[in-house]
Amino acid sequence: MGCQPMFSYNTGWQPVPRSKVDAASCCVPPRYAAARRVYFSGISALALAFSTGCGRTAPATSPTTPTWNWDAYPLESQLLVAQLPASVVAIRAETIRAPIAGILRMLPAAKQPGTIAAGTAWAAIEPEDVPAEEKELSQARQDLAERRAGYRRFDLPAELGKLDDEIAAARETVALARFAERSPELFQGDTPLLDPRLKPAVTAAQAEVRLTAIEDRRKQVAAGDPAADPADISAMAAALETRQRALDERLSRHVITAPVSGTLRLAVSPEADGSRVETGDILATISDDTALEVVIKGTLPLLHAVPAENLYCTVAASGGKEATAAFSAWGIESGANGVVPIMRFRLPPGAFTGERANLAGVELPALVFVRLAEPARIVPKLALAEWDASSALAAGWQPGLQRLFPGARLLAEGRSAVAIVPK
């Protein structure tokens, strides 16, 4: 049987009866029959795949926009502003310098370790001319002592004898005055029985007062009372006393006392007693270690961007004890780079009990916090930078946050985070 074509070549496609397809298959040469079977098997598998896939409806997907979760960040009332080195110092500390040049004399209080009370004398400085002055005063005292010894040996007996004669005469005057007052008629008349010239010119009472004064003087002289010394001895004693008083006054001006109660730290060795010092030399420091404060350099701009009265800091001692200090005042401090602002935080009285003297002058790390006006979300700056796909924060935290989170308020900027109140 002759081979018939499977398709007609007219304008339309015409189905071919299966009998003809089967009959036509016999017309394919054997070497093409296998290839044809593989070709149609692939077509059939592909058609099956299309029919399976097209039979299901794929779920509709829409792009999702990530949302910011405020609850992921803690709600706090304080924010860490900075971590800075700080010094723990006594609120009141004094540097004591030599007021004049001279010889330093250490007093017992300087040789006893520990605290001393305010007003305690612990050192003195002798002016350079004091040794010569003391030598002259010593000679004057010796001259006075020799003059008094000579007076008591030679002049005093004669003085006492003279006073005894005066006492006897005074007693006689007292007796005559009393007699004249009892019998005045004996001294009156044209021919008086007694010579009127024998009548004392003073009354008996006046005579008795004079007698008492002479007797008292005699007692003073005999007892060696300086008030009864001769005029020359009194003058020598007065001159010596005046010079000694002037020297004592000079020395008292240069006695060094503790201005406050506290710990005395000598800048010179206690064995320096008798050494020479110059005007302005530092002798010691004294500090009241019962009242300490934390001093931090305030050059960081973040510290100036928040109300200072809302700041506080925490410091920890080497043993692990931690204390919180409240802001007390701004100040200035001179350093190698000029004048810099400093912040003072006052430690409570009970902080670091037993370690306060060891902490004075020690540098410690301090964490500076700001108390927020209201609770806020503490968001790390890095998290905001990663969220900021549009670079809105390039304009600054305040305007950038308004663009990222409209209506949110920035309360404060910290070291690594910011405090935000969401809308």
pLDDT value, residue 44: 45
Tell me, yes or no, whether 217 lies in a domain.
Answer: yes
**Residue 59, domain member (yes or no):** no
CATH number at residue 110: 2.40.50.100
Domain presence at residue 390 = yes
| Same-domain status, 207 and 296 | no
Q: For residue 86, what pLDDT is reported? A: 92
User: Same domain, yes or no, for 219 and 155?
Assistant: yes
User: Residues 3-17: pLDDT tens digits?
Assistant: 444 443 344 434 444
Per-residue tokens: 324: 């919180």
Domain range holding 154?
130-252
Residues 292, 356: one domain? yes
Number of domains comprising the chain: 4
Same domain, 305 and 414: yes
CA-to-CA distance for 242 and 249, rounded, in angstroms? 11
Cα-based distances in Å from 203 to 168, 195, 209: 17, 17, 10
**Residue 18 domain flag:** yes
325 and 279 housed in the same domain: no
d(CA 384, CA 97) in angstroms, rounded, equals 56
Please check whether residues 296 and 411 belong to one and the same domain.
yes
Q: According to the 3-state scheme, what is the secondary structure of the chain?
A: CCCCCCCCCCCCCCCCCHHHHHHHHCCCCHHHHHHHHHHHHHHHHHHHHHHHHHCCCCCCCCCCCCCCCHHHCCEEEEEEEEEEEEEEEECCEEEEECCCCEEEEECHHHHCCCEECCCCEEEEEECCCHHHHHHHHHHHHHHHHHHHHHHHHHHHHHHHHHHHHHHHHHHHHHHHHHHHHHCHHHHCCCCCCCCHHHCCCCCHHHHHHHHHHHHHHHHHHHHCCHHHCCHHHHHHHHHHHHHHHHHHHHHHHCEEECCCCEEEEECCCHHHCCCEECCCCEEEEEECCCCEEEEEECCCHHHHCCCHHHEEEEEECCCCCEEEEEEEEEEEEEECCEEEEEEEEECCCCCCCCCHHHHCCEEEEEEEEEEEEEEEEEEEHHHHHHHCCCCHHHHCHHHHHHHHCCCCEEEEECCCEEEEECC
Q: Which residues of 261-296 are buried (b: 16+ CB within 10 A; e: fewer)?
A: bbbbebebeeebeeeebeeeeebbbbbbbebbbbbb
Domain containing residue 78: CATH number: 2.40.30.170
Cα separation of 266 and 284, whole Å? Answer: 4
Task: Give the pLDDT of residue 63.
Answer: 55
Distance between CA 394 and CA 409 in Å, rounded? Answer: 17
In a structure prediction context, what are the per-residue pLDDT tens digits for the chain, which is 423 residues long?
Answer: 444 444 433 444 344 444 444 444 444 444 434 434 433 444 344 344 444 444 444 455 445 557 899 999 999 999 999 999 998 888 888 889 998 888 888 888 887 767 888 899 999 888 888 888 889 999 999 999 999 889 888 888 888 899 999 999 999 999 999 998 999 888 888 888 888 888 888 999 999 999 999 999 999 888 888 888 888 999 999 999 999 998 888 878 888 999 888 888 888 776 666 788 889 999 988 888 778 889 998 888 888 889 999 999 999 877 678 889 999 999 888 877 788 889 999 998 878 776 766 676 678 899 999 999 999 999 999 999 999 989 999 999 999 999 999 999 999 999 999 999 998
Q: Is residue 60 in a domain?
A: no
Domain shared by 100 and 240, yes or no: no
Pair 350, 325: CB distance under 8 Å: no
Out of 252, 270, 305, a domain closes at 252
Residue 256, beta-bridge partner list: 123
Are 214 and 160 in the same domain? yes
Cα→Cα distances 122→25, 288, 346, Å? 132, 16, 30
Last residue of a domain, one of 228, 252, 276: 252
Specify whether 113 is located in the same domain as 179. Answer: no
Structural domain includes residue 383: yes
Which residue in the block uniquely carries the two structure tokens 């960081």? 300
pTM of the entire predicted model? 0.53
* Same domain, yes or no: 292 and 412: yes
pLDDT at 65: 58
Residues 22 and 49 placed together within one structural domain of the fold: yes
Q: What is the pLDDT of residues 110-133, one digit of tens each?
A: 877 678 888 999 998 888 888 888
**Domain assignment of residue 66, yes or no:** no
- Label residue 238 exposed, middle or buried (CB < 10 Å: 0-12, 13-18, 19+): exposed
Q: Helix crossing, 156-182 with 204-223: angle to 10°?
A: 160
How many residues are present in the chain?
423
Same domain, yes or no: 292 and 403: yes
Domain assignment present for residue 214? The answer is yes
pLDDT of residue 356: 66
CA of 406: how far to CAs of 399, 403, 412, 420, in Å? 10, 6, 17, 12
| pLDDT for the residue 272 | 64
End-of-domain residue from the set 264, 286, 308: 286
